[in-house]
Amino acid sequence: MTKQLLIYERAVPVTRQRHGSWSVKAGATFDFARGVNSVPLMVAEFGNASAEYTIVFGGAADEIIPVALLGIRDNENLYVNDTGAWAGNYVPAFLRRYPFVFSSDNANDADATFTLCVDEEFAGCNDEGRGERLFDADGERTQYLQNVLGFLQAYQVQFQRTKIFVKRLQDLDLLEPMQAQFTLRTGQRSTLSGFSVVNRERLKALPADRLAELMQADELELIYQHLASLRNLTPIAERIGGGAAAEAPDTAPAAPADFETSGNA
The C-alpha atoms of residue 235 and residue 256 are separated, in whole angstroms, by 25
Bigger pLDDT: 107 or 79?
A: 79
pLDDT at 259: 22
Average pLDDT over residues 217-228: 98
Q: What is the tens place of the pLDDT at every residue in 11-66?
A: 999 999 999 999 999 988 999 999 999 999 999 999 999 999 999 999 887 889 99
**What is the number of helices (H) and of strands (E) in the chain?**
8, 12
Per-residue pLDDT averaged across 181-186, rounded? 76
pLDDT at 176 over 60: yes
Cβ atoms of residues 47 and 225 within 8 Å: yes
- Do 21 and 127 meet the contact criterion of CB atoms below 8 Å apart? yes
Provide the pLDDT for residue 106: 66
What was the pLDDT predicted at 253?
40
Q: Which distant-in-sequence residues (6+ apart) come within 8 Å of 173 by Cβ?
A: 202
pTM: 0.85
Q: How many residues does the chain have?
A: 265
Give the tens place of pLDDT for each residue, 156-175: 999 999 999 999 999 999 99
DSSP 260: -
